[in-house]
Homo-oligomer: A and B are copies of this chain.
Amino acid sequence: MARISESTVRRLSHYYRVLEEVAGEGQRVISSHRLAEREGVTSAQVRKDLSCFGSFGRRGLGYDVRHLREQIRGILGLSRRWRVAIAGAGHIGSALLAYRGFGEQGFDVVAVFDSSPQRIGRPAGDLAVRPMNSLSARDAIDVGVVATPPGAAQDVADAMVAAGVRGILNFAPRKLHVPAAVALRHVEMTVELESLSFALSQPRAGRRPRAVE
């Protein structure tokens, strides 16, 4: 089985959402063409992506919606739960804590940290905000979420790595350096905004690849 590209994984995540929707509509079977249509990609892309992980379809028929959904669920690791720590109890951190979808995807927020004395000890959902330096390997955190100001982000990431996290989701607009064994993903709101600003600044009505339909 060849190396899986990041784009393939991201599309898998999209397919998964479409399949949940389609299953909700009572559809039992879906073709790569229909799935592609809903997601805005080509049917060949769908088949290629899926074929990285096995043969889930039936020729002449299509894919069983429930079965495919469960397969993707397994592939994406959504069948198990992950222990998450959020660093930064500001606006973003608080919003994330309150975000229900987090738990629905298998991520349990088990600790919230901040370095500001004013915030430490304050209730945050079912939890209380802990001082940043109290994070340790004993917390057994799988995924750390960096929701601090940019200036603190690298230090926080270092602390997370020292505490043994295996993945980091970074919301701060700064490049983080972590060991290769730690998975790192970046939610780049700033970049999306500036990319939007660029598109809006272009003279002619933009024919941008991401503006489909």
Interface of A with B (CB < 8 Å)?
6, 9-10, 12-14, 16-17, 38-40, 75-78, 80, 82, 91-92, 94-95, 98-99, 101-102, 105-107, 136-137, 142-143, 162-164, 166-167, 169, 173-175, 177-201, 204-213
Contact = CB atoms under 8 A, between A and B. Distances in A.
Interface residues of chain A: helix, strand, loop or mixed (majority)? mixed
Given A181-B204, A183-B199, A183-B206, 12 more contacts: A10-B191, A10-B195, A92-B95, A106-B197, A107-B197, A169-B192, A183-B211, A184-B211, A185-B192, A185-B193, A187-B188, A187-B189
A200 B75 contact: no
List the number of copies, as a whole number: 2
Contacts of A39: 175
Contacts of A200: 77, 82, 142-143, 166-167, 183
Contact of A179 (B91, B136, B180, B208): B208
A202 to B, nearest CB: 8
A207 B204 CA distance: 40
Given A201-B77, A211-B137, A195 B9 contact: yes
Contacts of A38: 175
Contact of A6 (B98, B195, B207): B195
Contacts of A195: 6, 9-10, 13, 185
